[in-house]
Amino acid sequence: MTSSEAFDAVVIGAGHNGLVAASVLAKAGRKVVLVEAEAEPGGAARGETFAEGFRSPGLAHVLNRLHPEVIAALDLKSHGLAFGEPAPTAVLDRDNGPLILHGGYGEEVEGLSAGEAAAWGELRARLFRQAGVLKPFLVRNPPALGRLSHGDKAFLGSVLLSLRRLGREEMREFLRMVLMNVHDVAEEHLSDDRLKGLLAFDATLGVHLGPRSPTSLLGLYYRLAGEAAGAPGGQVVPRGGMGAVIAALVRSAESAGVALRTKAEVRRILVGDGAASGVALADGTELRTGLVLSAINPKTTFFELVGAPHLDIGFMRKVGNIRMNGAAAKLHLALDGIPAFAGLGEEHLRGRIVIAPSSDGVERAYNPSKYGDFSREPVVEVTLPGLADPALAPQGGAVLSAVVQFVPYRLRGGWTEARKAELLEASLALLERHAPGLRRLVRAAELLTPADIERRYHMPGGHWHHGELQADAMLFSRPVAGSSGYGTPVEGLYLCGAGAHPGGGISGLPGLNAARAAIRDGESRKRTSFGFSILKRSLSEARP
Amino acid sequence: MKVWDAVVIGAGHNGLVAACYLQRAGLDVLVVEKNDWIGGAAVSRSLTPGFLYSNCSYVCSLFRPEIMRDLELPRFGLQVIPYEGGAVFTQDGDYLAAYKDHHAHRREWARFSPRDAESYDRYSRDVTRQCRFIQPLLMRTAPDPTSFRPRDLSELVYLGRRFGEMSEDEIALTVRFWTMSISDFLDEYFENDVIKAYLALSGIIGTALGPMSPGTAYVLLHHYMGEVDGAVGAWGFARGGMGAVTSALARSFEASGGTVRRNAPVEKVLTADGKATGIVLEGGEEIRARRVISNADVKRTFLKLVDEADLPEPFLRRVKNFKIRGSSGKLNIALDGMPDFPALPPNSPCLQGDLHFTDSIERMERGYDDWKAGRWSADPFIDMVIPTTLDPTMAPPGKHFMSVFVQYCPPKLEGRDWTDADRDAFAETVVSQIADYSPGFRERILHMEVRTPRELEAEVGLTEGNIFQGELTFDQLLFNRPVPGYAQYRSPVEGLYICGSSTHPGGGVMGAPGRNAAVEILRDAREKNRHVSPAYDVL
Amino acid sequence: MNVMTSFQAEGQTRRAAQAHIRKLKRESPFHPRLAALMQTGAWYDWGGNLAPMSLWEEELEFFAIRSQAALFDISPMVKYRIEGPDAEAFCNRLTLRDVRKLRPGRVHYTAWCDDEGFVLDDGTLFRLAPDRFRLCCQERHLPWLLDGAQGFDVAIEEETEAVAGLALQGPTAFSVLRAAGFEGVETLKPFDLADFLHEGGMVTVSRTGFTGDLGYELFAQASQALSLWDRLWDAGRPFGLRAIGYAALNRARVEAGFIVANADFVTAETALRADRARLPDEIGLGWMVDGAKGHFNGRCAILAAREKGGARHVLVGLEVEGNVPAEHALVYHRGKKEVGLVSAAIWSPTLKRNIAIASLRRPYGDTVLDDLWVEIYALRELQFAKLMKRAWVVPRPFLKLDRRTATPPAPF
């Protein structure tokens, strides 16, 4: 059955990127329907009730890269998004006490010696300068090397110029460091294991690299190129929690005229003569339109929704080669009270707490994951989301949310309840060591392995970037080389999720960039629509 | 007192190559060598009667044919014999061989995976395409991307144009080669673990990275860009051992009037007003020279031989931060006869190639995890060759010399120095692995030399025993090698040059660093370099 | 079978296959017969197989094709079996022509391209049954086919070694088959195929070939190869049946204007130099491209290239002045401007003309057809005779024989 309603565009998946893409299209005058398989919008930021009276914040639990252009384009502030102050990061260390980073990624750091603070100041400034060179890439289509447009060339020229403006020595440092590993960079500059541990942790968070893996510094650049509450590299837990971000996005979308349909799972993207012609829903409804944006995983989009018969083999091969076995698990604890972390005051609990004893410690946590196992000494990032969103826990209770690394998607022998219990035990033991008494507070626990994340959030591999965010899968190689950016081999079909440039995290950028690309293409197609007649003529001229 | 036009520190292959070119250009050149033999890490040593050991480097491919021809090395005794593939033994008693014959190779690999056997063609094409791109760069000085000098700009334009000629897919392939791990890279072509393990070995040899570390795809390329008589990627044995390379160089050098002094360890490079003026040998003898060229690695040169006060801060810091990590050891074994490998068919040509026992990427990577923790690999990766199957000059008739390259082997053990007992235990780890596949192997051993990074550093002078004089990661390649701003063989000290593998294009018995350094030195000396051939055309 | 035993079984077959290295070159199932007839000793390597370049006398072998009947071993041709409910859809996505129009019992000549529209290979697609195909070609494509099978309910298996093939070509080919007892073979029209009983098994006979003459290709299980050969050989005696090598076949194929992968064009997957790959329109296969059949691999690129004039080359037949074959000669316009290269050239004994297949850079060979020249270097007793000869673009095939298509075929 074909829906009688007429739409200009269908957006698949009401995660943050889908919401952003739909809003941007709607604000540009397109009639947009946003379809979501689940009952609620929010995607990976969608929380669930995991114990009676307790809700989890979803996969994402801090906001560190929602882009100012997205906030402005969707007018999120007037739709209720409110940041407080940048939240601190506490790095725990039982022997030397915690390190507290304030402002935009450690503008000030409590707990460092004077000498180390100076060394950190120098390294921090350098890292920000270097991330600054890459930052302009975030808000545009990645330049497609090998077929650069004039705009691309001008843009790359401006990047070169900004590189030059660093000065000769800093330009050299950039060209030397850009593909280095975070461990060596930290070793070259720093001596404090807590700080080195944090850099190692943040650089490898969400990717399958250890701190000693070359190119791992890119992960840190990615973080530092983001900003929150006006603080570059900073983070906030918005008032009302991550749910408030989604609520603001939904309000913005609805006020722009986006029709949001939940419980509307897309079964197929309809393709005719090489171009998208709409989507078919699980209930049999067909929504006909020549513009489809998919915010969901690229593999799912192409392999399941488009289907091989409409795609080329080389392209399928490239999509199949996207590495997307997640390496992070998510732990949610329902607690009877706020746990006491050794050395931390109440004001430190608003942000995130990192337990990563040293760079080598992160590396050791990474090692087993290469062979489909997890370390008994994982590294974790903890937040207490209930502090910003009291609705998550009943009065007197608290929710603890933690990212646990490195946990393989493909556990050797497969994930069983026993193996999950083992991982839970390792995580709890680690937390208990840093927050004595925490275990007694635990009323319920939910552990999501990458395999669970895959199921719950429809993310193949349970990878929140929808594909490794590594040097060979960035910029013009994302999602795949030869088809980078947002357009796809299927005309009128765009990717607008984390699998596209610049990648995952709650940035809204893939959604923003993709929607803009689709609008641009639509306008240039109008100008050259006579091209079709040429195409048809050339077909008929094909010699028998 | 005699003032030499140039003195070269170290008679390794790159030092000798540079010396040869300078001498032929008319300079009066002295090479000083600390050992009483020459060759650096390209030597043939007689450590037990009747046998010659290639006791450091052991196979020859990367050595640039342009240099062989310029310096008339065949006339001075160099002969390179190509060898046939090799094999990896599997734990289930089988083996995977590599054959020169294209279809025999395919049929062999099809035993493990028919799909992979054919994917190998696409893989070879991609690797070859990339080698064709890189090969011409080996014989060019890397441009300084921060410089506005016409030479650097024109070189950058050249590089830009080479890139511009590439299609989008080729550029993406280049990026993949430079940034991916060999394991991930091979996953895009192959499904079988034995095949992947066999191919991955070129991605880790000589480096302190595991096959799952990004950047190892480039290391693989580095091992593929050699050739034997135009056969790109082919490997061979130098007849008479790897010392044949350096002895031919020394003969060529001496025939053109150069002088080599052995047993002449250098204490310091002499400077005056920031200019190199000569060297002081241990014992105090001073040798004056207009320019000093160091074949030693960048750390040894600038942190041991040069006064820190003569070096600017950023340079010194970067030299100190230079990554030169020992990751390998070596066993050189004299054998009473050809070892048996029951898994192989009798008279298998594989015995003339390189043999391995690591049949999965995981085993390789676990070996690397041991190294990271400061231990030698409990289950090491071994690259083993028996050159005497093709070169009868290295052992008495019927007896054999076996070279066993071993990874991973750290320069320090959990932070402490190696002891002789450690060394013996390390050797036992390796010998027992070989003996698992070759019954009676122990009984055939007549003599064995065991080398850990400790021995390599003490004897050859390679810091931490790193065979490439520095890691081959992007932060230390091209214009970053050895350090940014000084990637053109010059140093902050006027008249002091470096010509070893610490410089572009890096390690292996290639000779390109020595040759490129000579070109830069002659440019500074305003001498014509008419004896230096440009890189051969890649058609 | 549990995991462990299947692993062991896999190890056993793997080890059993070690024996392949005892002989560096594989021998075809017909090898005993060929070896017995081999008088010139001229073996060559065809895809890792020992194959005859000639058996007794090249010239006479050629005339066996054109005057009697010739038997040529095509077993080394790469063969894939494509089977399953989605086999038709799979083949349709893979190749340029519309496979829905290929009825069971028919064969068609086709080609397939990579994503950029560059030709990976050409070959023949046999529709053996509604859901079973055989693809025959020069190069190997297993990874490409397997990767292409993702999303299709289809099984793909290489059967190069399992299936033996023979080409029976020449004016008396039909008589030989009839005499050998292939009842009903007279009804086969060009590009028809049918199964015939042989020794309790089946032989697939198709009216196809690579000579431009009346001819058939026969496929049987390798185990039946020798008895099939003997059956034809015995029946063929009165009709002048001869075994031939590749040299003779090559002359015939040039007369027929057929192209050979990696001789007349470089296949996209083997090209080291990216600019060597060719679109179908550049090697005379543009007629296969069916833009109306729906998606197929490379469609977007091929159509976009047509729109933007992306075809930079054109493959043409040339007739060359004089009688010296112009193999690998450069082609010039007005005797000066280099515009292309001859990839195959012979003196045609049948036509008594000097013919060539050449690749030219457009517009030469496409819209500019006049004043073309070829530069021939003929080595004669250690001296090159350098000839500059006129060349004219002529239609391919150079040779058209009525007997190739007459159904039922004449007895000779």
pLDDT digits (tens, 9 = 90+) for B381-427: 999 999 999 999 999 999 999 999 999 999 999 999 999 999 999 99
Tens digit of each residue's pLDDT (9 = 90 or more) over A363-421: 999 999 999 999 999 999 999 999 999 999 999 999 999 999 999 999 999 999 999 99
CB atoms within 10 A of CB B428: 12
How far CA C373 is from CA of C320, C352, C370, C387, in Å, comes to: 8, 20, 9, 10
Rounded to a whole number, what is the distance in Å from the CA of C170 to chain B's nearest CA?
A: 32
Q: How much is the pLDDT for A4?
A: 63
pLDDT category, A234, cuts 50, 70, 90? very high
Q: Is the Cα dihedral C333, C338, C341, C347 positive or negative?
A: positive
Given CB atoms, is B112 within the 8 Å cutoff of chain C? Answer: yes
Rounded to a whole number, what is the distance in Å from the CA of A376 to chain C's nearest CA?
A: 29
Which residue among A271, A309, A538 sits closest to C151, beta carbon to beta carbon?
A309
Q: How much is the pLDDT for C8?
A: 75
Provide the angle, in degrees to the nearest 10, between the axes of the packed helices A114-134 and A168-177. 80
Given CB atoms, is B104 within the 8 Å cutoff of chain C? Answer: yes
pLDDT category, B121, cuts 50, 70, 90? very high
- Alpha carbons A277 and A288: distance in angstroms, whole number: 6
Which residue among B102, B112, B132 sits closest to C272, beta carbon to beta carbon?
B132
Cβ within 8 Å, pair C115-A320: no
Q: What is the mean pLDDT of residues A267-290?
A: 96
- Alpha carbons A38 and A70: distance in angstroms, whole number: 24
Rounded to a whole number, what is the distance in Å from the CA of B110 to chain C's nearest CA?
A: 9
Rounded to a whole number, what is the distance in Å from the CA of A41 to chain B's nearest CA?
A: 35
Q: CA-nearest residue of chain A to C150?
A: A308
Q: Strand C193-198 relative to strand B496-498: parallel, antiparallel, unpaired?
A: unpaired
CB atoms within 10 A of CB B7: 28
Rounded to a whole number, what is the distance in Å from the CA of A287 to chain C's nearest CA?
A: 22
Which residue among B163, B168, B473 sits closest to A147, beta carbon to beta carbon?
B168
Partners of residue A273 in chain C, C-beta under 8 Å = 294
DSSP string, B243-254: HHHHHHHHHHHH
How far CA B426 is from CA of A429, B416, B454, C273, in Å, comes to: 37, 15, 12, 47
Q: CA-nearest residue of chain C to A544?
A: C287
Tens digit of each residue's pLDDT (9 = 90 or more) over B226-256: 776 667 777 889 999 999 999 999 999 999 9
DSSP A230: T
Cβ within 8 Å, pair A320-C295: no
Rounded to a whole number, what is the distance in Å from the CA of B102 to chain A's nearest CA?
A: 25
pLDDT category, C411, cuts 50, 70, 90? confident
CB B133 within 8 A of CB C274: no
- Alpha carbons B331 and B432: distance in angstroms, whole number: 12
DSSP A504: S
Q: How much is the pLDDT for A1?
A: 63
Residues of A with CB under 8 A from a CB of B: 144-147, 164, 168-169, 171-173, 175-180, 184, 188, 209, 212-216, 321, 323, 363, 367, 370-371, 470-472, 476-477, 481-482
pLDDT category, A3, cuts 50, 70, 90? low
**Residue among B161, B171, B190, B362 with most chain A CBs within 10 A, to mutate:** B171
Given CB atoms, is C143 within the 8 Å cutoff of chain B? Answer: yes
Cβ within 8 Å, pair A308-C152: yes
**What's the distance, CA A463 to chain centroid?**
9
pLDDT at A536 over 50: no
Contacting chains of A (3 CB pairs or more, <8 Å) are: B, C
DSSP string, C58-94: HHHHHHHHHHSEEEEE-TTSEEEEEESTTHHHHHHHH
pLDDT category, A5, cuts 50, 70, 90? confident
Given CB atoms, is C152 within the 8 Å cutoff of chain A? Answer: yes
pLDDT category, A2, cuts 50, 70, 90? low
Cβ within 8 Å, pair C150-A307: no
Q: CA-nearest residue of chain A to B477?
A: A176
Q: How much is the pLDDT for C2?
A: 52
Tens digit of each residue's pLDDT (9 = 90 or more) over C223-253: 999 999 999 999 999 999 999 999 999 999 9
Q: How much is the pLDDT for A531?
A: 45
Q: What is the mean pLDDT of residues B481-510?
A: 96
**Residue among B100, B115, B191, B351 with most chain C CBs within 10 A, to mutate:** B115
Q: Which residue has the tokens 């190119």?
A: A215
Q: How much is the pLDDT for C197?
A: 96
Tens digit of each residue's pLDDT (9 = 90 or more) over B16-59: 999 999 999 999 999 999 999 999 999 999 999 999 999 999 99
Q: How much is the pLDDT for A450?
A: 98
Rounded to a whole number, what is the distance in Å from the CA of B359 to chain C's nearest CA?
A: 14
pLDDT at A195 over 90: yes
Instruction: Look at C11 and A518; give whichever has higher pLDDT.
Output: A518
pLDDT at A470 over 90: yes
Rounded to a whole number, what is the distance in Å from the CA of B148 to chain A's nearest CA?
A: 11
Q: CB pairs below 8 Å between A and B: how many?
A: 107
CA-nearest of C108, C230, C131, C129 to C180 is: C230
Cβ within 8 Å, pair B115-C142: yes
Q: Which residues pair with C88 in a beta bridge?
A: none
Tens digit of each residue's pLDDT (9 = 90 or more) over B421-455: 999 999 999 999 999 999 999 999 999 999 999 99
Give the E-state strand segments of A45-202 in sequence order.
Answer: 49-51, 54-55, 89-91, 99-102, 108-110
Q: Strand C119-129 relative to strand C106-113: parallel, antiparallel, unpaired?
A: antiparallel
Please state whether A287 falls in left (phi above 0), alpha (psi between -120 and 50) or beta: beta
DSSP string, C235-259: HHGGGTEEE--HHHHHHHHHHHT--
Phi, psi of B342, rounded to the nearest 5 degrees = -55, -25
Which residue among C115, C148, C291 sits closest to A539, beta carbon to beta carbon?
C291
Q: CA-nearest residue of chain B to C139?
A: B118
DSSP string, C179-207: HTT-TTGGGPPTTBEEEEEETTEEEEEES
Q: How much is the pLDDT for A80?
A: 93
**Residue among B107, B123, B135, B170 with most chain C CBs within 10 A, to mutate:** B107
CB A475 within 8 A of CB A142: yes
- Alpha carbons C296 and A161: distance in angstroms, whole number: 44
Tens digit of each residue's pLDDT (9 = 90 or more) over B284-314: 999 999 999 999 999 999 999 999 999 999 9
Rounded to a whole number, what is the distance in Å from the CA of A484 to chain C's nearest CA?
A: 15
Q: How much is the pLDDT for A147?
A: 82
Please state whether B166 falls in left (phi above 0), alpha (psi between -120 and 50) or beta: beta
DSSP string, A59-76: S--SBS---HHHHHHTTT
Contacts 24+ apart (CB under 8 A), B416-423: B417/B454, B418/B452, B418/B453, B418/B454, B422/B452, B423/B450, B423/B452, B423/B454, B423/B455
Q: Which two tokens stand for residue C331?
A: 């082609």
Mean pLDDT for chain C?
96
Residues of A with CB under 8 A from a CB of C: 271, 273-274, 303, 307-317, 320, 482, 489, 531, 534-535, 538-539, 542-544
Q: How much is the pLDDT for B347?
A: 86
Partners of residue A212 in chain B, C-beta under 8 Å = 213, 372
Rounded to a whole number, what is the distance in Å from the CA of A365 to chain B's nearest CA?
A: 12
Phi, psi of A519, rounded to the nearest 5 degrees = -65, -45
Rounded to a whole number, what is the distance in Å from the CA of A255 to chain B's nearest CA?
A: 41
Q: Which residue has the tokens 């002895």?
A: B247
ipTM higher than threshold 0.90: yes
pLDDT at A146 over 90: no
Q: How much is the pLDDT for A324?
A: 96
Cβ within 8 Å, pair B121-C24: no
Partners of residue C297 in chain A, C-beta under 8 Å = 312-314
**Residue among B115, B116, B118 with most chain C CBs within 10 A, to mutate:** B118
Q: What percent of chain B has pLDDT over 90?
A: 89
Cβ within 8 Å, pair A539-C287: no
Given CB atoms, is B74 within the 8 Å cutoff of chain C? Answer: no
0.80 exceeded by pTM: yes
Partners of residue B169 in chain A, C-beta under 8 Å = 146, 481-482
Given CB atoms, is C23 within the 8 Å cutoff of chain B? Answer: no
Partners of residue C286 in chain A, C-beta under 8 Å = 542-543
Contacting chains of C (3 CB pairs or more, <8 Å) are: A, B
Q: Is the Cα dihedral B354, B190, A477, A226 positive or negative?
A: negative
pLDDT at A535 over 60: no
Q: How much is the pLDDT for A529?
A: 53
Q: CA-nearest residue of chain A to B210?
A: A213
Q: How much is the pLDDT for A544?
A: 34
- Chain B contacts in chain C segment 231-270 (CB below 8 A): 269-270
Alpha carbons within 13 A on the beta-carbon side of B539:
1
A79-83, B447-451, C149-153, C315-319, range with the lowest pLDDT? A79-83
Mean pLDDT for chain B?
95
pLDDT at C145 over 80: yes
pLDDT category, B506, cuts 50, 70, 90? very high
